[in-house]
């Protein structure tokens, strides 16, 4: 039997898949970028849903630019991508200084004066920042427009309005 992800010989059965030791480790645990995972370029095109799902899970765990490009090019069904996301890292949750969950588009108020590096001004306490954007990979950062400048704001210095 050969591995469903990388075609390596000597694979063992894991659920509905045949996996080599390296691919099994990637599907079941942590993953580090390396040349072995280039095999996923072909695996995302498999006709078998379980192979697509395993490949998507490993690519999401890798999270490096080439892996994300493979996910996009693979044109995987939306349900496979959604299931792979559910099995990966927990979604980043942005919270204000009081612990309220922030969402894209919310309005927040600054709770202290914040010097804006590189822009030469200070965002004053009490300033409302409307239509915030969330920084997907960092729960402590949001983006918003203050005095016409798009800036990154630490969530510990804002409180949700409304």
For position 113, which CATH number holds? 2.30.30
- For the chain, what percent of residues have pLDDT higher than 90? 60
Q: Which residues of the chain have pLDDT under 70?
A: 87-91
pLDDT at 110: 97
Give the per-residue pLDDT at 87: 52
* Domains identified in the chain, total number: 2
Would you say residue 52 lies in a domain? yes
Q: How far is 152 from 144, CA to CA, in rounded Å?
A: 7
Give which of 31, 160, 140 is closest to 92, Cα–Cα.
Answer: 140
> Which residue range is the domain that position 70 belongs to?
12-87
In a domain, 93, yes or no: no
CA 45 – CA 51 distance, rounded (Å): 9
Q: Kindly report the length of the chain.
A: 162
User: Token pair for residue 147?
Assistant: 């005095």
Cα separation of 44 and 152, whole Å?
Answer: 35
- Report pLDDT for 73: 84
4 found inside a domain: no
Query: How far is 54 from 56, CA to CA, in rounded Å?
Result: 5
What is the reported pLDDT for 6?
Answer: 93
pLDDT in tens, 102-130: 999 999 999 999 999 888 899 999 999 99
| Domain annotation covers residue 32 | yes
Domain assignment present for 103:
no
Residues 83 and 149 in one domain: no
Is residue 2 one of the residues assigned to a domain? no
pLDDT of residue 88: 47
156 within a domain of the structure (yes/no): yes
């Amino acid at each position: 039997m050969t591995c469903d992800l990388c075609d390596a010989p000597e694979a063992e059965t894991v659920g509905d898949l045949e996996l080599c030791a390296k691919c099994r480790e990637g599907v079941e645990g942590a993953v580090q970028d390396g040349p072995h995972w280039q095999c996923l370029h072909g695996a995302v095109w498999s006709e078998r849903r379980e192979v697509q799902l395993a490949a998507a899970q490993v690519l999401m765990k890798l999270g490096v630019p080439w892996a994300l490009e493979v996910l996009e090019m693979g044109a995987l069904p939306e349900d496979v991508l959604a299931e792979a996301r559910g099995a990966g890292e927990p979604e980043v949750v942005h919270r204000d200084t009081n612990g309220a969950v922030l969402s894209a588009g919310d309005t927040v108020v600054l709770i202290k004066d914040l010097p804006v590096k590189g822009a030469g001004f200070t965002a004053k306490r009490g300033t409302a920042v409307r239509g915030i954007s969330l920084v997907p990979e960092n729960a402590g950062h949001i983006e918003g427009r203050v005095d016409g400048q798009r800036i990154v704001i630490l969530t510990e210095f804002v409180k949700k309005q409304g």
